[in-house]
Amino acid sequence: MAARRRLLVTGASGLLGGNVALALCRDWEVVGTYAAHPFSLAGTVSRRLDIRSDGEVAALFADIRPEVTVHCAAETRVDACEARPDEAFAVNARAPGRLARAARAAGSLFVHVSTDAVYAPGGAPHAESAPTGPVNAYAASKLAGEEAVAEAGGECLIVRTNLFGWSGRAKRSLAEWALARLEAGGEPLTGFTDAVFSPLLASDLARAIEALVRAGARGVYNAGAADAVSKYAFLRLLCREFGYPEDLVRPGRSGQTLAARRPGDTSLDSSRAAALIGTSFFPPVAEAVRRLKKLRDAGVPGLLAGSLGRGPATSGPGGDA
C-alpha cells in the first residue's frame, strides 16, 4: 500500500479547517494547527502554531515537510476587522505570505482559502477574471493575502469561496447561529435581502479543494454553489429543512445593523472549477442545506465539538445574517 501524502491544515479548530481535517484524514496524513483552541481528532496530528511568527512557521515546515498545505486560518469577523484593521492584515495578509514562503522552501503546494468578498460590487455572478474591489477591511486584508501568496513564488492555488456548516466552535457559522436561535425560540431572525451569495457546505468545500489539488489546479478558482440566494432566503431554507416556520425570518437590510459596509451580491461563477472536477462538488444551496441536516443526523456536530473538548457551540454568531 502506498504511503499517505502529508497534508498540513492551518486553522484546524475552525469551521473549514476542522471539516478539511475530518474529510481528508482517511486518505491523507493530516497535521492540523490551532492557535487558541486545541483539538484532537482521530487520524490526525495536532500542533499549536502562531501564524504571525516567522520562527514558528519556519520550524513547523522544516519539521513536518508537508506535500500540500491548506491554509484555512483567518480572521473572518467582518466588523472586528473593520474595528482593528492592523490585526486583520497581520492575520489575513502577512501570515499567508509567510506561510506560502515556508511552503515554497519545503516544496509544498500552498492552497490559500480566500473569499468572495474580494470582488468589486456589480457584475455578479463573478468569474475569476472579474475586477476586484474590496469595500471593507476584511475583504481588503484577504485580497492582500492573495497577493502575498502569489508574490511568494511557489506553487499555489487560491480558492475564493463562501461557506457554512458545522464547526463545534463557540464562534459559529451563520447556519449554526440561526439554528441555535430557532431552537431556543424568542425573537424572529432578520435575514438580509440585499446580501446575495452562493455558499458551499464546508464538507463539500473540503472535498472540492482536495479534487482541485488532485487535478493539478493552480492559480485562482472560485468555489461556490450552483445558484445564489439572499441571506434572507438562506435562513428560510434552513427553517424549511429543519422544521421551523419560515415566518420566523423577517426581511432586513445589512446597512441597518452592521458596522462595516457589505458588498451586496457576491455570488460566484464556479464553472471553471466545475469543468475541471465536475459539478457534483457545487450543488444548489437548497441541496447543501439538506446535506447539512443529514450531517447533523449523522452526529457530525458532536464529533467536531468533541474534537475541541467541548459540547455543542452555544454562543456568538460567526457570520452575517
Q: For residue 141, give Cα distances in angstroms to 51, 78, 242, 265.
A: 15, 11, 35, 19
Q: What is the DSSP string of 147-201?
A: HHHHHH-S-EEEEEE-EE----SSSB-HHHHHHHHHHH-SSPEEEESS-EE--EE
Q: What does the alpha-carbon distance between residue 296 and residue 203 come to, in Å, rounded to a whole number? A: 12
Adjacent-strand bridge partners of 44: 30
The amino acid at residue 11 is: G
Strands 196-197 and 229-230, bridge-based pairing: antiparallel
User: Is residue 119 annotated as part of the catalytic site, yes or no?
Assistant: no
Strands 189-192 and 196-197, bridge-based pairing: unpaired
Give me the catalytic one of 34, 119, 138, 232: 138
Residues marked active site are found at 138
